[in-house]
Amino acid sequence: MLRNYFLVAWRNLLRNRTFTLINVTGLALGLATCILIMLYVVDEWSYDRFHERADRIVRVVFKGKTEGGSINEAHVMPPVARTLQSSFPEVAEATRLRLAGSPLISYGTKSLRESVMAFADSNIFRVFTLPLLKGDSKTALIKPSSVVISETVARNYFGEADPIGKILEIKAWKSSYQVTGVMQDMPKNSHFHVDILASMSGLAEAQSTTWLTSEFFTYLLLTPGTDVTHLERKLPPIVSRYMGPQLEQAFGMPYETFRNKGNALGLFLQPLTDIHLRSDFAYDLSTPGNLQTVYISSIIAGLMLLVACINFMNLSSAGASRRGREVGIRKVLGSGQSELMKQFLFESILLTGLALFLSLLLVDLTLPAFNELAGKHLSFPFFTHPLLFIGLLVLGLLVGVAAGSYPAFFLSSFQPMAVLKGGGFQIKTSKGSIHFRSTLVVFQFFVSIALIIATTVVYRQLSYIQHKELGYNKDEVIVLPETWALGPNEAVFRQRLLQDSRVQSVSASVYLPAGPSSNNNFFLSPETNPSLLVKTLRYDVDEAYIPTLNIRIAAGRNFSPRFATDSTGILLNEAAIRSMGWTGNVLGRTLATHSNNGHRTSYHVIGVVKDFHFRSLHELITPLVMVQAQSGGTLIVKAKVGDVAGLLRTMQQVWSQYHVDVPFSYSFLNDRFSNTYQVEQKTGTLLSVFAGLTIFVACLGLFGLVTFTTQQRTKEIGVRKVLGASVGSILALLSKEFLQLVGLAFVLAIPLAGYVTHEWLQQFAYRISLEWWVFVLAGLLALSIALLTVSVQSIKAALVNPVKSLKSE
């Protein structure tokens, strides 16, 4: 029986080669897209789930609001870990991480800087699943100046030799660390990636009792059965008890008064498995994923596969008359409707099997490009992973049944007398089936037009971001990091750069208005209103900072070495002025800041800078204060337009003359700015690729329907040409119905696409407006694509010699 099903199905697929090719291509593209997105989604959801106790690990985060804006930080204060562990029996372990960057690390004559280093508490291995290949996890990080390195670092420095007991040096810190363990490389699906873990016990800041500074990523391992929400409700008294007195000492204001003025500070708990996809914190350990992108990609993949299935249903039901005689004869010979349905479903499953095989080849070929596009390292272990193998077979079976169910029911329902009447083959398609096919065409282009609109909006927003007036000039600005390595020669190096005719100006500051802003929070209060605390971000800059970045001054002046009093002078942005509630002339007004021990430092305003975007355009501009300070370590070079490549070569040559251990490196400020919006750029690229594929698959189906229609109306076209109809009139005749359906799809797509894109834009504090022409452009583009698709086959039919058309009938 199965053999007969296969032979009949294979014969019919070969007989209708055009429709078979269209269906196989559409389904293969849909399945390949689904597989790629499935791999992507599974990888995104798998982050941090490899830890054995992932469901019991939470991260402590710090949130709040003050007069100067909101606080939303992924790290907390040094004593939070031990305080929470000693205060709540629900906390089995509390451990901390503090990033140390990628310092130049030496062993003998070998020096490398690719490794990411962090300080960690000794119990980190009791919280996270980080297996040690060598060393004892219980004691590896107890002693100061001990480090655990990854197997890659061990191989890079020591080859096949045993690294235990070896000494690594960080000359910039004048520190030495003894290797006490080797751990497995951290998986790619970890929200933090560290190559070297150094003992926290040797870090002075880790022993601090202050609740007014942060920088420590703190994780709790909870006891089994702990309700995270219930535990989180217990944290506000901890903040009042420990942070409250220190706030009062520093600012001279009781904590209750601070809270009653509308301020709110608090600790919150974030489940470990939520960190990658549900984080919007400043100063996080890595760039998080985007849950919205996961949802959008999943929906698009599902819609594309649905469009491919619709093609199959459309073409199968439209070509029903080709199978009419077969159905009639088989029914006369005794075949029941169920038997015929099985035959047609088998054909659908067989065709889907071919498409699935082709989709696997497509996935294998396109996976490297998809990885680069999505920034992933996905693999496709189809033949080595039984569950994946079974899952794909089930997917193919479900798609085959779904795509073939309606055609099978439709074809098997023909009555023998209707299709065999007069010995011929006369079947009239019912209005219901025509309406059904029309509905499916409308749905296909509804999806396509909605994707065109969404893609256009995303790219317009990205273009808006790239070209928006930021309040500073990011072009031709070169950032030279780690110039502290030059020591006393840093100032000499800077002067040599200024002597180059290709250099306009040079500033020494580690604070950059692109990429992650430094966590340097600053609380100010006006001398006339000391109870008003305004949270600002503090930039330590020199007098060259403002002209180097071309930041505009709204009032007053820039820092100048001619004024000794500028050591206590500050520049405020306009947002800071508004948060103070000041009006009129603010120059000369005084403010005070408070240290942790209650010491007050007074500043006077010497200038006001225009608001500029020193953070992402997702956020509103918040208060900023600039203080004159020689914060060496990074040089910001404004180059003149021209030979930038030659200037970089000269910089490197000059750098090498100082024979420092740190190699010359640089970045461009506009690249750092662009990297801030990587998630949006990936979303836009994914949308455009999938929108293009979806439109292509929809057009394949439309091409098939037009092919069928022209074949059915061959005689009519011939008669019309004999009676004098032009090619244009025949083209209009064949195109009118399909273009009307596309027009209806456009009308239906506008509300949904408008709502979805409006909601997406809300994540930006600064965004484009949805203009009418975006929707009209999408409609015209869809109509043009549909007209081109219809025209290819329609013009071909209209140009056929009418004698041949009538003779063939």
Please tell me the distance from the alpha carbon of residue 218 to that of residue 120, in angstroms, as a whole number. 10
Angle value at C-alpha 63, between 294 and 682, nearest 5 degrees: 25
Alpha helices in 762-808, H assignment, sequence order: 772-798, 802-808
Looking only at the bridges linking them, the beta strands covering 477-480 and 132-134 are unpaired
pLDDT at residue 27, rounded to an integer: 83
Bridge-partner residues for 117, per DSSP?
A: 101, 196
Please tell me the distance from the alpha carbon of residue 164 to that of residue 181, in angstroms, as a whole number. 6
Contact 648, 656 (CB under 8 A): no
- Please report where in the chains the tokens 């029914």 appear, as a residue: 331
Please tell me the distance from the alpha carbon of residue 702 to that of residue 730, in angstroms, as a whole number. 18
How crowded is residue 480: how many other Cβ atoms within 10 Å of its Cβ?
A: 23
pLDDT at residue 558, rounded to an integer: 94
pTM (2 decimals)? Answer: 0.81
pLDDT at residue 426, rounded to an integer: 44
Looking only at the bridges linking them, the beta strands covering 196-199 and 117-120 are parallel
DSSP secondary structure letters along 270-284: EEGGGTTTS---BT-
Contact 158, 80 (CB under 8 A): no
DSSP category for residue 216: B
Contact 181, 119 (CB under 8 A): no
pLDDT tens digits for 443-472? 888 888 888 898 889 889 888 887 888 899
What helix, strand, coil percent values describe the chain, rounded to 5?
50, 15, 30
Nearest Cα to 620, choosing from 69, 64, 73, 63?
69
Nearest Cα to 507, choosing from 539, 485, 459?
539
Buried b (16+ CB within 10 A) or exposed e, 78-93: bbbbebbbeebebbbb
Q: How far is CA 507 from CA 360, 477, 517, 610, in A?
A: 54, 11, 17, 19
What residue type is 768 in one-letter code? Answer: I
pLDDT at residue 427, rounded to an integer: 45
Helical packing angle, 291-318 and 678-712, nearest 10°: 10
Q: How far is CA 447 from CA 452, 553, 694, 799, in A?
A: 9, 49, 8, 33
Contacts of residue 644, Cβ cutoff 8 Å, sequence gap at least 6: 476, 478, 502
Q: 3-state SS of 702-767? A: HHHHHHHHHHHCHHHHHHHHHCCCCHHHHHHHHHHHHHHHHHHHHHHHHHHHHHHHHHHHCCCCCC
Looking only at the bridges linking them, the beta strands covering 264-271 and 132-134 are unpaired
* pLDDT over 70 percentage in the chain: 82
Nearest Cα to 672, choosing from 610, 613, 611?
613
Please tell me the distance from the alpha carbon of residue 606 to that of residue 313, in angstroms, as a whole number. 73
Please tell me the distance from the alpha carbon of residue 792 to that of residue 707, in angstroms, as a whole number. 10
Low-confidence ranges of the chain (pLDDT < 70): 1-17, 66-69, 260-263, 316-340, 342-343, 382-385, 403-404, 406-437, 515-521, 594-599, 631-632, 708, 711-714, 721-723, 727, 793, 796-809
DSSP category for residue 125: H
Q: How far is CA 673 from CA 470, 480, 635, 668, in A?
A: 11, 16, 17, 9
Handedness of CA 527, 528, 534, 537 (dihedral sign): negative
pLDDT tens digits for 709-748? 776 666 777 777 666 777 677 777 777 877 888 889 899 9
pLDDT at residue 89, rounded to an integer: 95
Bridge-partner residues for 570, per DSSP?
A: 605, 627
DSSP category for residue 551: P
pLDDT at residue 329, rounded to an integer: 59
